[in-house]
Amino acid sequence: MVTCPGCALLCDDIEVIVDNNRIKETRNTCRRGAARMKGCINRLIPGIAQKPADIESSIKEAARIIRNARSPMLFGLDNSTCEAQVMGIQLARKINAIMDDTSSFCQGLLIEKILLKKFRTCSLEDIRNKADVLVYWGSDAQDSQPRHMSRFSYFPRGESRQRGYEEDRLAIAIDVRESNTAKICKGHFYRIPLKGDREFIFALIAALSGKVPAYEPKKMLELAGIFKKAEFGAIFVGLGLTYSIKEDFDIFIALSNILSNFNIMPMVGHYNMRGFNEALFKETGFVNRIKFGENAVHDDKYAITEALKNKIPDAMIVVGSDPLTSLPRTLIPHILSIPVIYIDPCVTLTSKIAAVTIPCSASGVESGGTAVRMDGKVIGLTKILESDYITDEEIMKRLLEAV
Ligand code: SF4
């Protein structure tokens, strides 16, 4: 059995059939996981100024760029092993870099609150064994973490839930659209208007407190009744909810404090985003948006979006991420104006504009290590194929020595 690095569910029940050092077939993966494990279509090659180079020259040129930068930024590491993340943090510290990752515009806020113990949480195994009410809020697990419902929440039998979804479990979806997950939660889909989560939370708090809510009173009282009766509930918080209430997150903490029979679980996409958040939190007390210097400073101006808007970085190291695809177009001109050092197994839009490209092995397939599942459990990754590519951990170690 091996682990799939396709998302932060880190399914560790995967079988692979290897033929001639290639993955011919995967068993138990979803389509997303199978595609991830079979590897990228176009492999990245070492390069300087978009011309092929050898790996040593690429690392040397990257070190030169970093040494000349006054305000370098290291971005990414959500698709790297925990070991590579620790090395990346050491590199960022040594070069006094700004450090951020996709959690900055994704689930970082929620994970930070979980690490600060603002929420009650549990393991995915606890959910499989005990949970009777499952709430997908702003999360389309069926598309983003496709085996979530079948491995851990709605469909499986569990120690205290032997009759599974047929009789023992109830799934609820709260979302702005009827997602594939919502379609499974038959009869328990609560549609909310765009950015309507705040009003929904207040109405739910009112209903749970025995008051008649101003918003959709019949529906909210019905939902409050289900929540009150739950023996072991779980709220799976998707990006839709986190994003919608990011300015006012305490209202969700207030709701969770009333729901003493519920656990809060972040729904994470990138396979080791939580690992990065935990490693940086351990080092600095914050999960992202850091500037290293004499002390590590946390500030929203060090979020990648703000930093690029204000043209703060004068060089960027991007590891296992594709900011040119994921960031708003208005921020791209500054990335194009500075040297980018790109470390990844695959060709991406960002690799095509990079000053230096350094290919690495595909973690979880060509190299092993560990990663942190969305619930905080550390899971091992296996090296399945032989590979001449060095790991991103090794690349950052060499950069650390060279700068
Ligand atoms: S749910 Fe995620 S970890 Fe599991 S097989 Fe699919 S992509 Fe891989």
pLDDT digits (tens, 9 = 90+) for 206-265: 999 999 998 899 999 999 999 999 999 999 999 999 999 999 999 999 999 999 999 999
Longest dimension (CA), the chain: 69
What's the rounded mean pLDDT across residues 277-293? 98
Task: Please tell me if the CB atom of residue 256 comes closer than 6 angstroms to any atom of ligand 1.
Answer: no
pLDDT digits (tens, 9 = 90+) for 289-337: 999 999 999 999 999 999 999 999 999 999 999 999 999 999 999 999 9
pLDDT of res. 129:
97
Strand residue runs (E) in 83-127: 98-100
* H or E stretch covering 75: strand 72-76
- In the reported structure, the alpha carbon of residue 194 is separated from the centroid of ligand 1 by a whole-number distance in angstroms of 28
Of 291, 241, 4, the C-alpha closest to 119 is 241
As a whole number of angstroms, the distance between CA 174 and CA 164 comes to 21
Residue 187 has pLDDT above 90, yes or no: no
pLDDT digits (tens, 9 = 90+) for 114-128: 999 999 999 999 999
Residue 175: strand, helix, or coil? strand
Closest protein CA for atom 5 of ligand 1: 29
Cβ count near 376 (within 10 Å): 18
Ligand 1 atom nearest to 14, measured from its CA: 5
Sign of CA dihedral 350, 354, 360, 361: positive
pLDDT of res. 164:
82
Ligand 1 atom nearest to 145, measured from its CA: 1
- In the reported structure, the alpha carbon of residue 304 is separated from the centroid of ligand 1 by a whole-number distance in angstroms of 27
Of 396, 392, 372, the C-alpha closest to 273 is 372
Query: How far is CA 367 from each of CA 249, 312, 318, rounded to the nearest angstrom?
Result: 38, 34, 19
Could you tell me the pLDDT band of residue 364, with boundaries at 50, 70 and 90? very high
Could you tell me the pLDDT band of residue 186, with boundaries at 50, 70 and 90? confident
- In the reported structure, the alpha carbon of residue 176 is separated from the centroid of ligand 1 by a whole-number distance in angstroms of 25
As a whole number of angstroms, the distance between CA 290 and CA 98 comes to 6
Question: Of how many residues is the chain composed?
Answer: 403
Residue 64 sits at φ, ψ, to 5 deg, of -65, -45
Let me know: does 203 contact 209? Beta carbons within 8 Å.
Answer: no
Task: Please tell me if the CB atom of residue 284 comes closer than 6 angstroms to any atom of ligand 1.
Answer: no
pLDDT of res. 285:
97
pLDDT digits (tens, 9 = 90+) for 126-168: 999 999 999 999 999 999 999 999 999 999 999 999 988 888 9
pLDDT of res. 351:
98
pLDDT digits (tens, 9 = 90+) for 75-116: 999 999 999 999 999 999 999 999 999 999 999 999 999 999
Q: Helices H, strands E: what count in the chain?
A: 18, 18
pLDDT digits (tens, 9 = 90+) for 23-76: 999 999 999 999 999 999 899 999 999 999 999 999 999 999 999 999 999 999
